[in-house]
Amino acid sequence: MHALALALLLLALSPFLWLVLMSFKTNAEIFRFPPRLLFDATLANYAALWTSEFRNSFANSLVVSVVSTALSLLIGVPAAYALSRWTTRAGGTVTLWILASRMAPPIAFTIPYFLVYRHLELLDTWTGLIIIYLTFNLSLVIWMMRPFYDQLPRSLEEAAWIDGATMWQGFHRIILPLSGPGLAATAILCFLFAWNDFFFALILTRTEAMTAPVAVVNFMNYEGWEWGRIAAGGTMIMLPVLVFSFVVRRYLVHGLTGGALKG
Amino acid sequence: MRAPSRRAVLRGSVGLSALASGVLAAPHVNAQGGKPYAGTTINGSCFQTTYFEYLKNYFPQFEEKTGIKVNFNMQAFPVYNQRTDLELSTKGSALDVINCTFIYSGRWIGAGWMTNLDPFTKDAKYTPASWDPEDFAGGPQSAMKNAKGETFGYTWEAGAMILGAARYDLIEKAGLGLPKTFDELTKVCDAIHNKDNVAAFTADKLHHWNWIPYLMGSGGAVFKDPPDNLTPTLNTPPAASSAEWYANLLIKYGPDGILSYSDDQSMRSQMSGRANIRTQAITWMVPLAKHDESVVKKTVRYGLMPEGPKGNFPGSNSHGLGIPAGSKKKEAAWEFIKWALSRETIAMVVKNHGYPSVCRMSVIKSPEFKEVLTLNGQDVAALFLEVLQLGGKTGYMKYRTVPVYPQVGDKINKAMERIATKQQAAPEAMKQAQAEAIQDLQKAGIKVDT
């Protein structure tokens, strides 16, 4: 059974392993046929990334992903809590409308966003990208977090209120700590959306705010592709997601399933 | 003595201010010293290519000469086209100099998104006669013109399709020479396939570029009479039989995985000695003889694209520099284009960097260019020139610059994949491609014959 699991794991991970191995090869080694598993590894591709514009793009990706994730949680989590506790029929309608930003494919928003951004001089800026990711992530945060709060008994915060806590204190001190797994799962999904986005970054950036996924494509030159750098760039792009997932892995599984069934 | 009146004081102050501003302004005007656009910053963009990588080294010369600062940004081919198409279609002013990409030239010029450059070239105030716009090769340059013959770009790159045999030694060993006809190509492939573990033929998955010369050589065409009549002719018997022949060439003589090959993978398959013959633009052929990583430097030989029963139609394309209609710094942008594509600049890039695909005839015919393109003793410059002239003569490449070609080309690619993977017989696949192409054309509001 373990052997089967291991085999499946290897099968699932083989494309990633291939990419990582490729990042340590020279172009000549990459195109060697048949390919060799043992070869003289080189860090030249990573060194080349460090001296190219990729370094700035990587930093851009980190900044816009972290900031947009933090802002989405900061705004979305209280909103989800408020909508959970709002018992009128309008609450459901509002929640549904919040999903509107996810109801059309991103390409449908492209030209309007591009024109507005050009007018507001937000093209090729961190702010521009953060606003876009915030817009799309807010609905995700609200829709993921609301079931968590629906699950938590109201009596908890009512007890806090009786003890003299304000509504904000009740939320901050009682409810928020209880929704840790949900927050972790939501944060990672928000981060992934912003981190992996190619389309909006392609359209709304040029050079200054260009993110890592777009920068990797720039290694596909007209007269030839820089395979080693593409692989090294791809590996670098995977790295923060792996680290982030590793850090919050304890909460992740519970967070994704929690709230699926209401008490 | 009478005290000066308030009016006199005011008049005097104005006079003094005017004098002072004149005195202060004078050095600025003089400092420009024949540099009317000094202090202007222009933004240029192109896809990543060696020509501009090389040219960037000389930007300081241009900036010194004109006082114009150049921000030139390069992106991957698809990224550049996507961004520029959006920028142009929304009449933006963010870019002052752009590359007019061959496959988009019809769309960008036809839609009025580019600036007519004739007023610049025809006015001695902007362009000296010595710049000589007629020096640009006619074939490549035709893609930069509209139906009225007005020019919207000047070409910096001309792709001319030739045949490259990475392992000519294997062909020689089989007692054969470079194939000159389609039949000879099949015969040579038969004789050399898998000899020394080398596949006989290779190509990339851009069939709407690679296959068309074979289609035309067999008497077929993509459209009835481009650009006037864009009725597709993909379901004709010559189109179906040519598609079948080409698909067979790929699967019978190509290396494993050929159907998914990108341009670069195909070039690498030749450079690493895994595949032998390819018909492709010269830009991807020269590295076989010059690239550091090529293992076929000594065995590569070049020839003209093989000829079909109906003639020889090697693909040729071109990319040019132009000015977006929305640019607010057109004069300064023209200064840049004038410099970047002057005879002297192009000759310098050829001489110092060996760039092989230029468009100025005076440079192509120069001894320096011949020297750069003499590969393994072969005069490849002559082959390049011959293809450019062929393309310019009859205008058979017009099919490729029509605005809807990217969509129609996509249908051709898919049809070829279906044939090569035996999902469909060639007549059915081409019939489907024809129907889908008509649908695309009608969606774009183009009339087709019924």
Q: A156 touching B, CB under 8 A?
A: no
B448, B232 in Cβ contact below 8 A? yes
Residue B2: which pLDDT band, with cuts at 50, 70 and 90? very low
Same domain for B423 and B308: yes
- Report if residue A6 sits inside a domain: no
Nearest-angstrom CA–CA distance, A57 and A211: 4
- Report if residue A262 sits inside a domain: no
pLDDT at A256: 59
Residues of A in contact with B47 (CB under 8 A): 222
DSSP E strand stretches across B177-334: 199-201, 223-225, 229-232, 275-281, 301-304, 316-322
- Report if residue B311 sits inside a domain: yes
B31 has pLDDT over 60: no
B414, B420 in Cβ contact below 8 A? no
Torsion over CA of B51, B57, B63 and B64, rounded to 10 degrees?
-130
B361 has pLDDT over 90: yes
Assign residue B103 a region (left: φ > 0; alpha: ψ between -120 and 50; beta: otherwise).
alpha
Interface subset of A 69-128, CB within 8 angstroms of B: 110-111, 114-115, 118, 123
- Report if residue A1 sits inside a domain: no
The residues near B365 (Cβ < 8 Å, ≥ 6 apart) are: B385
Selected residue with higher pLDDT from B232 and A97: B232
- Report if residue B260 sits inside a domain: yes
Same domain for B224 and B122: no
Domain boundary at B325, B356, B372, which?
A: B372
Average pLDDT score over chain B: 91
Same domain for B152 and B262: no
- Report if residue B269 sits inside a domain: yes
- Report if residue B393 sits inside a domain: no
The CATH number of whichever domain residue A33 belongs to comes to 1.10.3720.10
Same domain for B362 and B336: yes
Same domain for B198 and B339: no
Other CB atoms within a 10 A radius of the CB of residue A35 amount to 13
Task: Count the domains in chain B.
Answer: 2
List residues of chain B with CB under 8 Å from any CB of chain A: 47-50, 73-79, 82-83, 86, 90, 92, 94, 262-264, 267-269, 271-272, 274, 283-284, 287, 293
Residues of B in contact with A111 (CB under 8 A): 86, 90
- Report if residue A99 sits inside a domain: yes
- Match 């005097």 to its residue by tokens: B12
Selected residue with higher pLDDT from B43 and B395: B43
- Report if residue B7 sits inside a domain: no
Among chain A residues, CA nearest to B319:
A222
Supply the ipTM of this predicted assembly.
0.77
> Do residue A225 and residue B262 have CB atoms under 8 angstroms apart?
yes
Residue spans of alpha helices (H) in B305-425: 330-340, 343-353, 361-364, 367-372, 380-394, 405-420
Selected residue with higher pLDDT from A84 and B121: B121
Same domain for B169 and B308: yes
B56, B5 in Cβ contact below 8 A? no
- Match 């990729």 to its residue by tokens: A54
Q: What are phi and psi of A187, to 5 degrees?
A: -60, -40
Assign residue A224 a region (left: φ > 0; alpha: ψ between -120 and 50; beta: otherwise).
left
The CATH number of whichever domain residue B224 belongs to comes to 3.40.190.10
For B150-165, write each residue's pLDDT tens digit. Answer: 999 999 999 899 999 9
Residues of B in contact with A27 (CB under 8 A): 268, 293
**How do the pLDDT tens digits run along chain A, 263 residues long?**
789 999 999 999 999 999 999 999 998 888 887 888 889 999 999 999 988 889 999 999 999 999 999 999 999 999 999 998 887 777 778 888 888 777 888 888 888 999 999 999 999 999 999 999 999 999 999 999 998 898 888 888 889 999 999 988 989 888 888 888 889 889 989 999 999 999 999 999 988 999 999 999 988 888 788 899 999 999 999 998 888 778 777 776 665 555 555 44
- Report if residue A263 sits inside a domain: no
Among chain A residues, CA nearest to B285:
A223
Across the interface, of B49, B78, B293, the residue whose CB is closest to A223 is B49
Which range marks the domain in which residue B282 is found?
Answer: 161-315+400-443
Which of the residue ranges B11-20, B320-329, B374-383, B434-443 would you say has the lowest mean pLDDT?
A: B11-20
B86 has pLDDT over 80: yes
> Do residue A217 and residue B78 have CB atoms under 8 angstroms apart?
yes
- Report if residue B450 sits inside a domain: no
- Report if residue A11 sits inside a domain: no
Q: Can you spell out the DSSP letters for A30-94?
A: HT-SS--SS-----HHHHHHHHSTHHHHHHHHHHHHHHHHHHHHHHHHHHHHHHHH--SHHHHHH
Selected residue with higher pLDDT from B166 and A167: B166
Across the interface, of B49, B79, B92, the residue whose CB is closest to A218 is B79
Nearest-angstrom CA–CA distance, B373 and B89: 39
pLDDT at B63: 97
- Report if residue A5 sits inside a domain: no
**Degrees, nearest 5: CA angle B109-B229-B412:** 85
Same domain for B165 and B155: no
- Residue A214: closest CA among A237, A189, A248, A186: A237
pLDDT at A95: 80
Start-to-end CA span in chain B (Å): 99
Global confidence as pTM = 0.81
pLDDT at A258: 57
Residues in chain B: 450
B438 has pLDDT over 80: yes
Strand-strand pairing, B223-225 and A220-221: unpaired
- Report if residue A135 sits inside a domain: yes
Across the interface, of A202, A206, A222, the residue whose CB is closest to B48 is A222
Nearest-angstrom CA–CA distance, A167 and B33: 72
Same domain for B358 and B282: no
pLDDT at A254: 64
pLDDT at B230: 95
B30 has pLDDT over 50: no
Same domain for B119 and B100: yes
Same domain for B269 and B323: no
Residue B20: which pLDDT band, with cuts at 50, 70 and 90? very low
Q: In the predicted model, what is the mean pLDDT of residues B70-76?
A: 93
Among chain B residues, CA nearest to A111:
B86
pLDDT at B28: 38
Which range marks the domain in which residue A73 is found?
Answer: 17-257
Task: Count the domains in chain A.
Answer: 1
Same domain for B60 and B120: yes
For B373-431, write each residue's pLDDT tens digit. Answer: 999 999 999 999 999 888 777 788 889 888 889 899 999 999 999 999 999 999 999 99
Assign residue B370 a region (left: φ > 0; alpha: ψ between -120 and 50; beta: otherwise).
alpha
Same domain for B120 and B189: no
B273 has pLDDT over 90: yes
pLDDT at B450: 77
Domain boundary at B356, B372, B388, which?
A: B372
Nearest-angstrom CA–CA distance, A157 and B229: 74
Q: What letter would DSSP give residue A152? A: S
